[in-house]
Structure 1
Amino acid sequence: MTVGIVVSRADSASVRIGEQLRERADWERDDEGGSSGGPEHIARYVADGFELLAFDPWHLELDGVAAAFEDLDFLVFASRHAGETGPLLTAHFTGNFGAAEHGGSDRALAAACPNAHHAVVRALDEHTPEGYDAGMECTHHGPTAVGAPSMFVELGSSEAEWADDVGAAAVADAILDLRGVVPQTERTVVAFGGGHYVPRPTRIVAETDWAVGHVAADWCLDDLGDPREGRDVIERVFAASGATRAVVDGEKPRLREVLDDLGYDVVSETWLRETTGVALDLVADLEAAVASVDDGLRFGERAREATADAEYILVDHPDDLWADAHSVDSDAALAATSANAFAYTTEENGNRVAGEIALPDADAYDAYVDALAALLGEKYDTVAREDGTIRITDTAFDPAAAADRGVPEGPKYGRLANGEAVAVDGETVAPADVSRERTEIYALADPSEGKGN
């Protein structure tokens, strides 16, 4: 796996990043190496997993630059970022959704490297020096005919930062962290809509295992025009990213219509979060068998440990038992479900479990029921599992019995409920005198009758 690095002598930030790169790895200068194709380089350095070429022209002018490298899997353009953002480290892909005003060709997109981009954005965040922010940008400017998957990794956003060794070192460290990283992943989405600095795609990269390919911000879509007439460009967004799914910021009915007609799935940010770590074939199987994520399906920890073809059983969820356990400790009840299940249906934005539950096997169902019963043990006197049920008994304060003994409503009710005797008309009323035993029986499903996959 070889990462090509492009340094432009016309870009002071690029030169500074190149200097920091050479200080941080064991490079060998080899100006005789490289390929005779593509733009002419003026210096070549090689290190384990990397090949760095320096060029005189600006990055935007380096169409076909991949041909100048001897061997590479993807390219990183070490570049400057210009804008009114303050000190910023950023990464993005290149392309034009409309006219090419800053390099490349009209309505053309360079091949992206989403998995490498996912890695470098996280690395930029890890290495960000004090006073800087790190983030992502939408797809913009050239070159568009690079010849290999590529991305820009940038130091910004003004002359002060372009000359800053600390900022340049952070970018260099993030690039060097790409050693051994593959450029592509099937867990890739493209994104449409939002601002130039793409908050939703940035969250997806930072907080899920999904990578984001090309991003068409709102202004990019303005350049594109009517999506029904820009179907070819939309197709290129997916092809250049290696993606079949998209996230869309805002309604954008015409765009959604085109995406649907082209056969691409539009997924929610919630879907990407919930499917993180779960094999996609298993996701598809469980959504078909139980419910969709958008309709409340949630995946448990067991799904994130399972293979794509893992077997499971579908069982009616013990809704009433879970609700009672939830009243004891809501977080613990949710954690018990997540710890034991492949997937489960929810209500109230995922905060209440109800419906069906998919579990690896009957043993997992038993462990789940036992975990809920243990929570009830904190609330009730006795909790017993017997004959396919959970039976609870509890002795509790009975207001009607207290009224019969002449106890006035008010503080004395509270004292009796807390186990303290009270005096009424010169007589002592003990908690046991005004208590009643309550029995509740929760029926359990027979996991042996659960529907398998």
Structure 2
Amino acid sequence: MLAIVVSRADEASEHVGEQLLEQADWTEAIDDDRPDADGGGTVYRTDGVELREFDALHLDLDGVAAAFDDPDLLVFASRHAGETDELLTAHHTGNFGAAEFGGADGEFARACPNAHRRVVEALSEHAPEEYAVGMECTHHGPTDVGVPSMFVEVGSAEQQWRDPEAARAVARAILDLAGVAPDAPREDGTRRQLLGIGGGHYAPRFERVLRETDWTVGHIAANWSLDDLAAWADDDEQRRAVLRDAAEASGADFALFEGERPEIAADLESVGVRVVEETFVRETTGVPLQRVHALETELVRVEDGLRFGDRAGETDEWSVVDLPTDLLTAASGIDREATRQCVERSTLAFVTEQNGTVVTGPFAVPVEAGRRPIVDELTAILERKYDSVTREDGELRARETAFDPSLAETAGIPEGPKFGRLAAGEPVEVDGEQISPERFQRERIRRFEL
């Protein structure tokens, strides 16, 4: 069930609450067991959603989930204040250091990364044309909510807080969360959820991950949050504990960095959180995490050059094979992009060098197909250059008939333009004699062992 918190102390929240009540058919009930100021009194319910109003500001509402009837996700309808003009935004709550605005020092509410992704999408769908949509770092309380939660906000000043179109957009986005799970599905004992580290208060890199990959993002520690953590933590162990708790509250076993914070990366690795780059997030999109783990174990990690092919998400059994380096080099020399594409089409994964730009192998290929599809496609690429390419005695033989300068030299042809014309297949005249280029051509065979 989705729980919605409206604060009477927040003008924007009240306007969003009014729009929420207009956007759905609600039933009303009276809760006499709680004071009206604490979410009692009139309670509004519709399919899978419950809305309650509170007198206090959201960030002072500790344990607020207890007011609702067994929710699994809670949303605070709120205002956003800042110098950001028209903005609709969403974020999780907690404190990496001392708590200045609600909650406890170094503690975090449980994030809802999957629902957060959906609400950012929904805000983009419903936002008035002049409003930007974004996400923020983790920066205030409450830290004791009781269920996965987040703030969904109208910003950034009174004009926007009173804008009915903005309030309506936020209301619709919140209602779109009915039935949405707080977390991404569990895969291989983990989830596609990230702890975000670094960057500014607003988080365009992590928003890009949300919009362009199948990964989600929980708590985000902006650079200033990390500075707060360093100032507040008494020792290294306390700092590591806060980072561990932030990952746990994000449901994340992975941390994605923006910028360079080697000491934070080391701390996270020491508490069992894997630090990854954006390349990892993008490469593993669409690939089951169990398969990612198995292929990284058998070959190399993504950060060391592993890349995934088109078969990674569809084939359960594979074998690891090699291809001749000279064959890959020759095909790449003819058409580098086509060579890469044929490898991607035929493999689950393959190893690269030079930041993923040069394919080297080994290759994980489907057991039933083996490496034959790759070899066939590489053969087709070679045929663009060579007269013929055949498979004989365990090797590819690429044949071409080409100008041989040594034959021309032996025949007394002077070097210069006439060499060039013969090499281009044109006849030349020497001492009044017309000489055909075929006279100086020789068949060459290049062999690629398979």
* Alpha carbons of structure 1 residues 326 and 130: separation in structure 2 relative to 1, 3 Å: farther
- Structure 2 vs 1, CA of residues 74 and 142 (structure 1 numbering), >3 Å: closer, same or farther? same
Amino acid of the residue matched to residue 361 of structure 1?
V
Q: 1:126 to 1:394 in 2, by over 3 A?
A: farther
* Aligned match for 1:196, one of 194, 198, 201: 201
Q: Distance in 1 between matches of 2:135 and 2:165?
A: 20
Deviations 1:346-366 (A, max 9, x none): 012111111311111151411
Change (3 A) 1:18 1:418: farther
Compute the displacement of 1:401 (Å): 4.8
SS at match of 2:343: helix
Structure 2: 5+ residue runs without aligned partners? Answer: 185-190
For 1:345-403, what per-residue CA distance to the aligned partner results, in whole angstroms no more than 9, with x for missing partners?
10121111113111111514111211221222222221223333222112234455556
1:222 corresponding residue in structure 2: 227
The equivalent of 1:317 in structure 2 is 323
Determine if the alignment matches structure 1 residue 282 to structure 2 residue 291.
yes
User: Structure 2: how far apart are the matches of 1:367 and 1:5?
Assistant: 55
Q: Which residue of 2 aligns with 1:111?
A: 110
2:310 is the alignment partner of 1:301: yes
Match of 1:361 in 2: 367
AA aligned to 1:263 is G
CA shift at 1:299, angstroms? 1.3
Find the aligned partners of 1:415 and 1:36 in 2 and give their Cα distance: 97
Whole-Å Cα distance in 2 between the matches of residues 356 and 200 of structure 1?
32
| 1:214 CA drift (Å) | 1.1
Partners of 1:424 and 1:405 lie apart in 2 by 9
Which string of whole-angstrom CA distances, capped at 9 and with x for unpartnered residues, describes residues 399-451 of structure 1? 555565747634x666655555555665545443443322111112xxxxxxx
Deviation, 1:52, is 2.4
Over 3 Å counting, the alpha-carbon distance change for 1:304 and 1:429 in structure 2 is: farther
Q: Is the 8 A contact 1:274 1:298 kept in 2?
A: yes
Q: Following TM superposition, by how much is the alpha carbon of 1:315 offset from its aligned partner in structure 2, in angstroms?
A: 0.9
* SS of equivalent to 2:207: helix
2:126–2:173: 8 Å Cα contact kept in structure 1?
A: yes
1:94 pairs with 2:93: yes
Partner of 1:161: 160
Tell me the amino acid that sits aligned with residue 409 of structure 1: G
Residues 262 and 377 of structure 1, relative CA distance in 2, 3 Å threshold: same
CA contact (8 A) 1:95 1:104 kept: yes
Select which of 205, 210, 213 maps to 2:215.
Answer: 210
Partner of 2:416: 409
State yes or no: 1:81 paired with 2:62: no
Question: In structure 2, what residue type is equivalent to 1:259?
Answer: L
Moved more, 10-19 or 217-226: 10-19
Q: Which moved more, 1:385-394 or 1:282-291?
A: 385-394
CA distance in 2, matches of 1:12, 1:261: 44
Counterparts in 2 of 1:164-183, with a 5 A limit? 164-183=163-182
How far, CA to CA, are the matches of 2:423 and 2:4 in structure 1? 73
Q: How does 1:19-168 map to 2 (within 5 A)?
A: 19-24=18-23, 26-32=24-30, 36=34, 39-41=38-40, 43-168=42-167
Q: How much identity, in percent, do the aligned residues show?
A: 51
337, 341, 345: which one pairs with 2:343? 337
Name the CA shift for 1:431/1:264 in 2 (closer, same or farther; >3 Å).
same
Name the SS for the 1:112 alignment partner: coil
**2:248 matched residue in structure 1:** 239
Please give the secondary structure, in 1, of the residue aligned with 2:369: helix
1:185-234 deviations in whole A, cap 9, x for unaligned?
31112122221112332232222222111111111112112561333322
Query: Could you tell me how far apart the structure 2 residues matched to 1:208 and 1:214 are?
Result: 17
Aligned to 1:257: 266
Change in CA separation of 1:13 and 1:385 when aligned onto 2, cut-off 3 Å: farther
Task: Answer yes or no: is the 8 Å Cα contact 1:341–1:358 preserved in 2.
Answer: yes
Deviation for aligned residue 1:141: 0.9
Verify the 8 A CA contact 2:30 2:41 in the aligned structure 1: no
Summarize deviations over 1:316-361 as a string: whole Å, max 9, x none: 1332222222222222211111111111110121111113111111
Cα displacement (A) at 1:68: 1.7
The 1-side partners of 2:275 and 2:439 are apart by 63
1:243 Cα shift? 1.7
Distance in structure 2 (CA, Å) of the matches to 1:199 and 1:159: 25
In structure 2, the partner of 1:386 is 392
Give CA-to-partner distance per residue, 1:259-286, whole Å, 9 cap, x none: 2332322222222222222222222222
Deviations 1:61-104 (A, max 9, x none): 22222112223211111222111223222211001122222122
**1:447 maps to which residue?**
none
Q: Distance in 1 between matches of 2:65 and 2:423?
A: 78
Would the alpha carbon gap of residues 380 and 30 (structure 1) be closer, same or farther in structure 2, given more than 3 Å must change?
Answer: same
Equivalent-residue separation in structure 2 for 1:369 and 1:67 (angstroms): 63
Report the CA distance shift for 1:173/1:396 in structure 2 as closer, same or farther (over 3 A): farther
Gaps of 5+ in 1: 445-453
Shift of 1:35: 7.5
TM-score, normalization by structure 1: 0.87
CA RMSD of superposed structures (Å) = 2.7
In structure 2, C-alpha distance between the alignment counterparts of 1:271 and 1:34, rounded to whole Å: 52
Q: Find the aligned partners of 1:317 and 1:407 in 2 and give their Cα distance.
A: 42
Deviation at 1:10, TM superposition (A): 2.9
2: CA distance between counterparts of 1:208 and 1:219? 26
Distance 1:429 1:279, change over 3 A: same
Change (3 A) 1:98 1:441: same
Counterpart residue type for residue 190 of structure 1: L
Q: Which amino acid aligns with 1:80?
A: R
Moved more, 251-260 or 103-112: 251-260
Matched length = 438
Displacement over 6 Å in runs of 4+: none
Look up the equivalent residue of 1:40 and give its one-letter code. G
Q: TM-score, normalised by structure 2?
A: 0.88
Q: Give me the whole-angstrom Cα distance separating, in 1, the residues matched to 2:243 and 2:170.
A: 31
Q: What is the aligned partner in structure 2 of residue 448 from structure 1? A: none
